[in-house]
Structure 1
Amino acid sequence: MPATVPLKPLAQQSIVITGASSGIGLATARLAARRGARVVLAARNEGALREACDQIRRQGGRAEYVVADVADLAQVEAIAAKAQEAFGGFDSWVNDAAVTIYGRVADVPVEDHRRLFDVNYFGVVHGSLVALRTLRQRGGALINVGSVLSDRALNLQGAYSASKHAVKGITDALRVELEAEGAPVSVTLIKPSSIDTPHVEHARNLLGAEGLRVPPPAYDPRLAARAILFACEHPRRELVVGFGGYVIALMGQVAPRLTDLAMGAVGRAGPTAEVRQPPERRDNLYAPREDGAERSLSRPIEPVRQTSMFLEAQMHPVATVAAVVGLGALVLGAATARGLADGRGAATGPRGDGARPAWRAAERPGRGGIRRRASRIFA
């Protein structure tokens, strides 16, 4: 994308968000409205959309909704028409709608594969083509929500993983084509790791297990919302939400066979009774189910992470490097000062028995401690 794509401040934007009745889409709509943006929410569940818009309006925001299945191009065109009617158009378009299936590839009926691709892949194609009719002339941001599974497939979610690979492919192709024609459009792929949303509760479950879960660690959907809204204002190629998912993709490139074995183990452990599928939410592949929540009703055992230094580093690389360097300098300075003080104490103290000074003993902290501290840096 051209490095000089001009993007408006959020408070001056109108933003279209598909999949906005729950999870990441709903979190994004709410946060965008709080920051002053006008929002058009689109999804299949009218009740959840109406409630979300009413809440935004009660809090002083501006919001409209459109009932639409993104698998139908005509319904996606109706979303753009509503944005034009309500707000005079849009400045950012977020393709977030998605469905998922848990099951072995061989056990998923072909019609279910097609339906999933109609939503996850063709929904992005429909949204992108419709959005670009406006954005090519007006300028703005096209943001597609992929996944860390855009880079590394997960067994028992083969159809979903394949669709997210396809989303990455079409997003990359659009970016190159738009840049070649000099279009004033920023194209961003958002790649969430495991996010604590009703997505799993909405899944079609062919595994026979009573409950499902996403691989830990899980992150708050508002982190993904922050990444999306950052991309509405700042041209970025990709933003990964959560270091845990990035590690999986990186492992797949460095040690693919070892990663295969690890993913197999994760897949076997994945279906558990930890996250229940409430009957009213279960299986929204072909029709909407209960919506209206950002997070799942059943929390994972591990605490859901509210922050991600890895995401912050992507959004603010210069500030992050400066902060890390400054922190390192402070730690080094403090350690040096303490070492000198301990050294002086050992040299002038009453002991003359050749015992190792304290500052020598502190020179090499336990490697386990170092690893534990390092593992928390980019969480």
Structure 2
Amino acid sequence: MPMKLKPLSEQVIVVTGATSGNGLAIAEQAAKAGAAVVAVARNAEALDALQARLSADGSRVATCVADVSDMVAVERIAAVAIKAFGGFDSWVNNAGTGTYGTLEQVRLEDHRRVFNVNYFGTLHGSLVAARHLRGRGGAIINVGSILGDRAIVQQGPYCATKHAVQALTDTLRMELERERAGISVTLVKPGAIDTPFPEHARNFMDTPPRLPPPLYVPEVVADAVLFACMHPKRTLYAGGGGLLSSAFSQAAPRLADLAMEMVGKTVQQKPGDAGDPTRRDNLYEPRTDAMRGSQHVRARRSSMALQLQKLPTSVVTLGAIGISALALVARATAQRR
């Protein structure tokens, strides 16, 4: 069937990991745009607060307490969406968790837990969403990371899961395209975003963790995700800093390795600023949730790189041709002089 995505105001959007960081920004921005939202998280108290706040503004919100590592729980999300709104149009696999420490420091059960949430949680959501959307059309958006392109020291398990999520997303896209299911599949790759992730992650370092700058606000990721709910896109990078890092690593992988070995640990540590202790370590149990991190950082409020990616491909191509032509004219003029 042909791929046709609805305007946000006509959509029902499922968002996992909806009570914290990027997920909270996605849920709030979706509701603000007029979409009905099915908010999913482990934190029942935070879900209740989110529903009360958004409903007070007239938004349509349903909630589901679920751990996405459990397939039965993920199937329950779809049941909640069907009961509350008759189904859904977009499914956002955003829930994630992580650790800080070397591969040897992180316990094997913690490696598995990160994979169970980040990879299998995305797989579970993708399978349930595809089953529901097949023949109806819609969008599946998986929130990956630039660390799916470029591994970083101290976050090995997380990086490995984001590599796996990228392969999963590509495979899902090909399978659904082959059967003409009418489902758009997008991978959103955030750079460093000012969320509670460093506080929520289980930390094996002897110093509080942080995300390396430049950081962006979670609304940048929400912008990318909600754009993908309406427009079929293969990949969207949320944040120019992450896009440049990815490009540099692919162009000069060995040089990137050396740089990472020299400063990779240092730029991920924030001595004396551990943030809110009530948020610490949510690997197995929910902790205090919020949209932004509580550490003292600066975060950019917009991403020009993302806005350029949202332009039609033809416009980007013409722009690149135009810039190249101007460069050639300038060079020829300089040579004549």
TM over 0.5: yes
Q: TM-score range by the shorter chain?
A: over 0.9
Per-residue deviation at 1:299?
A: 2.7
Deviations 1:249-270 (A, max 9, x none): 2122211110001122332212
- The answer as to whether partners of 1:212 and 1:274 remain within 8 angstroms in 2 is no
Q: Distance in 2 between matches of 1:255 and 1:324?
A: 23
Deviations 1:217-272 (A, max 9, x none): 00010010010000000000000011111122212221111000112233221212
Matched, 1:226 2:190: no
Q: Report the counterpart of residue 329 of structure 2 in structure 1.
A: none
SS at match of 1:138: coil
Q: Report the counterpart of residue 307 of structure 1 in structure 2.
A: 302
Per-residue deviation at 1:275?
A: 4.3
Per-residue deviation at 1:278?
A: 2.2
Deviations 1:81-135 (A, max 9, x none): 0000000000000000000100001111111000110000000010011111111
Per-residue deviation at 1:137?
A: 2.4
Matched, 1:267 2:260: no
Q: Report the counterpart of residue 216 of structure 1 in structure 2.
A: 213
SS at match of 2:188: strand
- The answer as to whether partners of 1:283 and 1:289 remain within 8 angstroms in 2 is yes
Give the AA of the match of 1:310.
A
Q: Cα gap change, 1:252/1:35 in structure 2, threshold over 3 Å: closer, same or farther?
A: same
TM-score, reference length from structure 2: 0.92
SS at match of 1:137: coil
- The answer as to whether partners of 1:141 and 1:185 remain within 8 angstroms in 2 is yes
Q: Distance in 1 between matches of 2:190 and 2:260?
A: 17
Deviations 1:34-60 (A, max 9, x none): 100000000000111111111111111
SS at match of 1:65: strand
Matched, 1:254 2:266: no
Q: Distance in 2 between matches of 1:20 and 1:187?
A: 20
Q: Report the counterpart of residue 140 of structure 1 in structure 2.
A: 138
Deviations 1:314-365 (A, max 9, x none): 0114566788999999xxxxxxxxxxxxxxxxxxxxxxxxxxxxxx9xxxxx
Residue segments in structure 2 that go unaligned for 5+ positions in a row: 326-333
Q: Report the counterpart of residue 191 of structure 2 in structure 1.
A: 193
Q: Report the counterpart of residue 104 of structure 1 in structure 2.
A: 102
Two-structure CA RMSD over aligned residues (Å): 2.5
Give the AA of the match of 2:300.
R
1:126 aligns with one of 105, 124, 135: 124
Give the AA of the match of 1:227.
A
Which moves more between the two structures, 82-91 or 58-67?
58-67
Q: Distance in 2 between matches of 1:20 and 1:168?
A: 21
Q: Report the counterpart of residue 366 of structure 1 in structure 2.
A: none
Give the AA of the match of 1:146.
G
SS at match of 2:264: helix
Deviations 1:280-333 (A, max 9, x none): 110000110011x21111231xx311111110000114566788999999xxxx
Q: Cα gap change, 1:328/1:250 in structure 2, threshold over 3 Å: closer, same or farther?
A: closer
Which moves more between the two structures, 254-263 or 11-20?
254-263
Q: Distance in 2 between matches of 1:305 and 1:279?
A: 25
If you compute each CA radius of gyration, which structure gives the higher value, 1 or 2? 1
Residue segments in structure 1 that go unaligned for 5+ positions in a row: 330-359, 361-379
How many residues were matched structurally? Answer: 331
Per-residue deviation at 1:193?
A: 0.2
- The answer as to whether partners of 2:201 and 2:283 remain within 8 angstroms in 1 is yes
Which moves more between the two structures, 83-92 or 275-284?
275-284
Give the AA of the match of 1:98.
G
Q: Distance in 2 between matches of 1:313 and 1:130?
A: 32
Give the AA of the match of 1:290.
T
Q: Report the counterpart of residue 281 of structure 2 in structure 1.
A: 283
TM-score, reference length from structure 1: 0.82
Give the AA of the match of 1:218.
L
Per-residue deviation at 1:180?
A: 0.8
Give the AA of the match of 1:155.
V
- The answer as to whether partners of 1:154 and 1:263 remain within 8 angstroms in 2 is yes
- The answer as to whether partners of 2:275 and 2:293 remain within 8 angstroms in 1 is no
Q: Distance in 1 between matches of 2:272 and 2:262?
A: 17
